[in-house]
Amino acid sequence: MLEPYPDLVERRFEDWLARHNSDFTTEQVEWLQMIKDHIAASLTIESEDFSYAPFSDRGGRLRASRLFGPELPKLLHELNEELAA
């Protein structure tokens, strides 16, 4: 039986987060969950997507850059690979 894509992304995210959870603050985890939801709906995420809701409602690209620093591009790449593969 095929697993619905959002469920697959959720499962992969939970596995990924379990491996990295101690690396992130509560606010970062909230952003990671929004990123996961975006990937589940849109198949990928790019930094340009932070210009749109729900990210723009929480500070957009600037806030994401402040939260994750120079690791943001690497993090987005890793999440795209891990969750959408």
Tens digits of per-residue pLDDT, 32-85?
A: 999 999 999 999 999 999 999 999 999 999 999 999 999 999 999 999 999 987
pLDDT over 90 (residue 22): no
The rounded distance, in Å, linking the Cα atoms of 85 and 71 is 21
For residue 38, give its domain range.
Answer: 5-84
The total number of structural domains that make up the chain: 1
Look up residue 11 and give its DSSP letter: H
Q: What's residue 37's pLDDT?
A: 97
Q: What's residue 12's pLDDT?
A: 96
pLDDT over 80 (residue 21): no
Give the DSSP letter string of 19-84.
HHGGGS-HHHHHHHHHHHHHHHHHS---GGGGGSTTTGGGTHHHHHHHHHGGGHHHHHHHHHHHHH
